[in-house]
Amino acid sequence: MQKEKLTAGSSITESYRFLANHMDHFFRLIYGPLIIWVMVKLSEQILAREYNIQINGTTFLHLFTATFAIIWYRQFLLGADKARYRLLFNRGLIGSRFTVKRFFRAVFRIMAITVALLVPTLIISIGMMIYYQSQGLLFSESIIQEMAMKSTIIVMLIFSPILVRLSLFTAGLALGRSSLGFRQIWKHTGGYTVTLWWVTLRGFLPLSIYSLVLTWFLHGVAEKFSVHYIISTLLIETLAGFLTFYMLAIVVAANAEAFRVLIGTREGDGPHREDAGPPRVERRKRKRRNNSREKARTA
């Protein structure tokens, strides 16, 4: 049997199709995280404007977006029965038992990735500082933040071919495959670096641009008409949070489709096609036919 071929177009198409057929599950899964997103952003504005207290809840929100990503992986690869936050928190990934060895191995992997990205970022940042200092530029907090942002973007672009291949490890993590390591992921994704990079870019870029333009426009409208900051924050952050989770669902499902094709599911993993049912239009037609038959019987 010939192995299924992965293309960026097929992966993205399957991702959008899956989301369209599972919008009810999507809203169910973003309901809580979206409320938390808005409340955190609103708290930032209230504390800054009313009490002059500056806080940044972005790191806190990353925890919820990462949790949603794992849940959406499970929705795609395992089905709706396994895509529940309560199940994830109570039983862990596929009910896997906690062991000290597994814990330290996970910590080591996280530290290894962090160091691998942090060291080049620091080197580039130090190089920028030396260059700016030679030009007689005075450092400020905003300039340092700008340098850190530029360094991070440069490092992410340089390492993106590696990161897009290792990103499939997240799908294995969501499935609870503790035996699936980076070496196996690297082997299975050989020859697909450009495809996986293009899948990620096509998933993130269009919706990111749309979200930035729309939120920028709404900020301008709110300022022009002097809308109260609480109302404008509720409106803009609800929209921004929704688009973030929507974009994440597209990228995660596309990545999960790549995982299914390149690495494959195993016994006990329920491919999403089994519980997806027919497309929405076909389901409506079938429902109409069943209603017509029922009326004919009772007539």
Q: What is the mean pLDDT of residues 252-277?
A: 74
pLDDT in tens, 213-230: 999 999 999 999 999 999
Structural domain of 15? 8-96+184-294
| Cα–Cα dist 263/51, whole Å | 52
Q: What is the mean pLDDT of residues 121-130?
A: 82
Cβ–Cβ < 8 Å for 231, 35 = no
Cβ–Cβ < 8 Å for 203, 15 = yes
Span of 107-111, 173-177, 256-260 with lowest mean pLDDT = 107-111
Residue 121 placed within a domain: no
Residue 101 placed within a domain: no
Domains: count for the chain: 1
Q: Which two tokens stand for residue 155?
A: 């490092």
Q: What is the mean pLDDT of residues 140-149?
A: 77
Span of 118-132, 169-183, 249-263, 282-296 with lowest mean pLDDT = 282-296
Residue 197 placed within a domain: yes
Residue 107 placed within a domain: no
Residue 82 placed within a domain: yes
Nearest Cα residue to 152 out of 129, 172, 174, 122? 122
pLDDT given at position 274: 47
Residue 104 placed within a domain: no
Residue 156 placed within a domain: no
Cβ–Cβ < 8 Å for 76, 170 = no
The CA radius of gyration of the chain, in Å to the nearest whole number, is 23
Q: Which phi-psi region, left, alpha or beta, contains residue 156 (left: φ > 0; alpha: ψ -120 to 50)?
A: alpha
Residue 84 placed within a domain: yes
pLDDT in tens, 73-120: 999 988 888 888 888 776 555 455 555 666 566 667 666 766 777 778
pLDDT given at position 100: 60
Q: Whole-number mean pLDDT of the chain?
A: 82
pTM of the model: 0.80
Span of 18-27, 41-50, 52-61, 284-293 with lowest mean pLDDT = 284-293
